[in-house]
Amino acid sequence: MNGLREEAAATLPYLRRYARALTGSQPLGDQWVRMCVEVLLQQPELLGSKATTAADIFTIFHKLQLPFNALEPEAPAEATDAPARLKTHLTDIPQRQRQVLLLTVLEGFSIREVADILGISIDEAEADLKGARDELERVASVRVLVIEDEAVIALDVAKIVRNAGHQVVGIAPTEKAAIDLAKKHLPHLVLADIQLRDGDSGIAAVREILKAVSAPVIFVTGFPERLLTGHGLEPAFIITKPFNPEMLKTAMAHALNSVVV
């Protein structure tokens, strides 16, 4: 039982990140994660006698919500601009394809693990992953602000953003620069590091930006669990350093489909 509690506690931040990304809603995603954890703690026999892994907990999570179709996001309003068109486009991606994409790219599960989690064959999981990747190639361009004080990383992030078909409106190494650029360009999406130059805070910069701009935020950090506490400012997505281009590209697309900032 102690092992189950420890694994559940360690997996919880990432399960919340995943559920929130699928539903586009922090409250709804958290609600289903909370229910899953409560059920597991009350009925540990659901996991059998084997050692509990993160994949086991994700599997139970899917089984619990499946009858209710609980992780399906609401259809967006009629698209009138680039971000809205992107939201509509991503919502049109079949739900299972989005699940496979997020489980592999964001959460780092293997195709075999994803197939087990979703109760499908490996061939089906591979086909869904290819389908989701193909859909991400056809997205509308949006304005992106990069908040990063390390030049090499900032240029790398900017390149990934542009290769994904989006526009980089600026790279900010400090809080003031980030706030000024945000007010000038009104970005559709913000990519922010947590620690900036001269002791500045990416979190503080984002808080100020969100007073004037309504945009989803992706934080880039080596310690994602520190931002997935359920309290205070939480972004639509959190990318763990080091990251690969596909992970960031996927996170951008799904963050823009999320109502959480």
- Helices 26-42 & 54-65, crossing angle to 10 degrees? 110
The Cα–Cα gap between 220 and 248 comes to 9
Q: How is the beta sheet containing 167-172 ordered, strand by strand?
A: 167-172, 143-147, 189-193, 217-221, 237-240
The Cα–Cα gap between 38 and 22 comes to 20
- All residues at 6 or more sequence positions from 11 whose CB lies less than 8 Å from its CB, including other chains: 54, 57, 58
This prediction's pTM:
0.63
Residues facing residue 190 across a β-bridge: 145, 217
What local confidence, expressed as pLDDT, does residue 60 receive? Answer: 87
What local confidence, expressed as pLDDT, does residue 180 receive? Answer: 96
The Cα–Cα gap between 163 and 210 comes to 26
Look up residue 150 and give its two tokens.
């390390």
Is residue 210 a contact partner of residue 240, using CB atoms and an 8 Å limit? no
Is residue 111 a contact partner of residue 126, using CB atoms and an 8 Å limit? yes
Q: Give the helix/strand (H/E) hosting 146.
A: strand 143-147
Helix (H, G, I), strand (E, B) or coil at 67: helix
Give the single-character DSSP code of 195. Answer: B
The Cα–Cα gap between 53 and 35 comes to 18
Helix (H, G, I), strand (E, B) or coil at 73: coil
Give the single-character DSSP code of 189. Answer: E
Q: Which domains does the chain have, with CATH numbers?
A: 1-72 (1.20.140.160), 73-139 (1.10.10.10), 143-255 (3.40.50.2300)
Per-residue confidence in pLDDT tens, the chain, 261 aa: 556 677 777 888 888 888 887 777 778 888 888 888 888 778 877 776 565 788 988 998 888 876 555 555 555 444 445 455 555 555 567 889 989 988 998 888 999 999 999 999 999 999 999 998 887 766 667 899 999 999 999 999 999 999 888 899 999 999 999 999 999 999 999 999 988 988 898 989 999 999 988 888 898 877 666 666 555 555 557 888 888 888 888 888 777 765 433
What local confidence, expressed as pLDDT, does residue 79 receive? Answer: 46
